[in-house]
Homo-oligomer: A and B are copies of this chain.
Amino acid sequence: MALIVHKYGGTSMGSTERIRNVAKRVAKWARAGHQIVVVPSAMSGETNRLLGLAKELAPAKPDTAYSRELDMLASTGEQASSALLAIALQSEGQPSVSYAGWQVAIKTNDAFTKARIQSIDDQKVKADLNAGKVVIITGFQGVDDNGNITTLGRGGSDTSAVAVAAALKADECLIYTDVDGVYTTDPRVVPEARRLQTVSFEEMLEMASLGSKVLQIRSVEFAGKYKVPMRVLSSFTPWDIDIHEEAASGTLITFEEDEQMEQAVVSGIAFNRDEAKISVLGVPDKPGIAYQILGAVADANIEVDVIIQNLSKDGKTDFSFTVHRNDYAKTIDLLKEKVLPSLGVAEVLGDAKICKVSIVGIGMRSHVGVASKMFRALSEEGINIQMISTSEIKTSVVIDEKYMELAVRALHKAFDLDQA
């Protein structure tokens, strides 16, 4: 008998028919003798519907103001889907109970709309599990010290599930989703993309941060911190599939670096076109210049990703960085108004039509020449590299967005990712 946490995304909970399927699957696991805690997302579309209503009422500052009330509002989606799942389970003859975040309680700080989990009380949940009930805990939400409802931000149900698994010392946290695992890259771009049977926690962390949308990055961080074994698998297999087959399906996120992993130099290719590039040209090359430019950007709460500074020439240098495309225009305006005047002759250029492509692999630590192999593959396709950023287990390049698919396919082939 194991204690297992199941997490179901919004698509898996998207209709009463799908909720019934989730209930049958969960009941199967319970009948097999396991203690099961389920963390469901809101039915797909529900969170957007609710926040859309809020936006109609407060068009001015939909994302930042009214945040306490936005959390009161958005948290209802998960509460409703959790209750519906409890009803479906009871209808299947499986005793169950649903709890909102505050009922468990899942304590968070008071950073509304992006709260962080601080503690989870396992008392009620353990008692219900020992009484033979499936326990359903709303994802995405918690409660602060003053009894206000908080939410964890988009994708927060993944984080809830891992945090619950950590608090309960669960044997495994199964993330059921609409894909059947983590792939070497997006199969919509590279049809030969392969599902990985295992991926290391650190690789998963890089992939999540680089734009692979399978798992929310904070949930991976949480899993890493508390060493929660986590598996990504499909909720669209038939619910009555053999339980041992199901338990071994998908992709397991591991914490041990076994020998097999050492052999795969690169595990996957991540990419996104969420960013825009901004260059400040002709900047005086003197100490404090990076802070002068990026300090103003940071003060405006704009996140910066890749940063490069060119070699100096005639005491002048060029300084480039990327921001999220949503912040592009705002950043350009900010630089022109607040930064350029104090820099003298500097000029700002921007390009929103870029993408970032990255190779990720824990094996890069112990292998040389991986980056140069990447650059050669791109060069053979005639793709110009605009920016480069590296870490211990990944190398990212910024290129023209029109080459994105071409670059991903070329790299997938160059690193033999289509070979098992």
A66 contacts B80, C-beta separation under 8 Å: no
A87 contacts B57, C-beta separation under 8 Å: yes
Residues of chain B within 8 A (CB-CB) of A72 are 79-80, 82-83, 86, 98, 100
Segment touching B, from A2-10, A48-56, A307-315: A48-56
Within 8 A of B (CB), among A61-99: 65-66, 68-70, 72-73, 75-77, 79-80, 82-84, 86-88, 90-91, 97-98
State the Cβ distance, A48 to closest chain B Cβ, in Å: 13
Which of A56, A83, A98, A100 counts the most chain B CB atoms within 10 A? A83
State whether the Cβ of A355 lies closer than 8 Å to any Cβ in chain B.
no
Residues of chain B within 8 A (CB-CB) of A88 are 57-58
Residues of chain B within 8 A (CB-CB) of A75 are 79
CA distance A52 to B31 in the complex (A): 28
State the Cβ distance, A104 to closest chain B Cβ, in Å: 10
A58 contacts B98, C-beta separation under 8 Å: no
Q: Say whether, besides A76-B79, A76-B80, A102-B102, A87 and B70 are in contact (CB < 8 Å).
A: yes
A84 contacts B57, C-beta separation under 8 Å: yes
State the Cβ distance, A70 to closest chain B Cβ, in Å: 7
CA distance A84 to B54 in the complex (A): 6
CA distance A19 to B240 in the complex (A): 46
State whether the Cβ of A369 lies closer than 8 Å to any Cβ in chain B.
no
State whether the Cβ of A60 lies closer than 8 Å to any Cβ in chain B.
yes
CA distance A65 to B91 in the complex (A): 9
Residue of B nearest to A102 (CB): B102
State whether the Cβ of A20 lies closer than 8 Å to any Cβ in chain B.
yes
Residues of chain B within 8 A (CB-CB) of A149 are 100
State the Cβ distance, A276 to closest chain B Cβ, in Å: 31
State whether the Cβ of A292 lies closer than 8 Å to any Cβ in chain B.
no
State the Cβ distance, A126 to closest chain B Cβ, in Å: 16
State whether the Cβ of A103 lies closer than 8 Å to any Cβ in chain B.
yes
Q: Say whether, besides A69-B83, A72-B79, A83-B73, A57 and B100 are in contact (CB < 8 Å).
A: no
State whether the Cβ of A16 lies closer than 8 Å to any Cβ in chain B.
yes
Residues of chain B within 8 A (CB-CB) of A148 are 103
State whether the Cβ of A147 lies closer than 8 Å to any Cβ in chain B.
yes
Residues of chain B within 8 A (CB-CB) of A70 are 83, 87
A66 contacts B54, C-beta separation under 8 Å: no
B97 contacts A68, C-beta separation under 8 Å: yes
Residues of chain B within 8 A (CB-CB) of A20 are 57
B102 contacts A57, C-beta separation under 8 Å: no
Q: Say whether, besides A79-B72, A80-B73, A87 and B54 are in contact (CB < 8 Å).
A: yes
Residues of chain B within 8 A (CB-CB) of A58 are 87-88, 90-91
Residue of B nearest to A17 (CB): B56
Q: Out of B65, B76, B77, B83, which one reaches A90, CB within 8 Å?
A: B65
Residues of chain B within 8 A (CB-CB) of A98 are 69, 72
CA distance A168 to B100 in the complex (A): 28
- Across chains A and B, which 5 residue pairs bring their CB atoms closest together, nearest first? A73-B83, A72-B83, A76-B76, A58-B91, A16-B56
9 A-B residue pairings within 8 Å (CB atoms)? A54-B87, A58-B88, A69-B98, A70-B87, A72-B83, A72-B100, A73-B80, A73-B83, A73-B87
List residues of chain A with CB under 8 Å of any chain B CB.
Answer: 16, 19-20, 23, 50, 53-54, 56-58, 60, 65-66, 68-70, 72-73, 75-77, 79-80, 82-84, 86-88, 90-91, 97-98, 100, 102-103, 147-149
Given A16-B56, A58-B91, A69-B98, 19 additional A-B pairs, CB 8 A: A16-B57, A19-B57, A20-B57, A23-B57, A50-B80, A53-B80, A57-B87, A58-B90, A60-B91, A65-B90, A66-B86, A66-B87, A69-B83, A69-B84, A70-B87, A72-B80, A73-B79, A76-B77, A76-B79
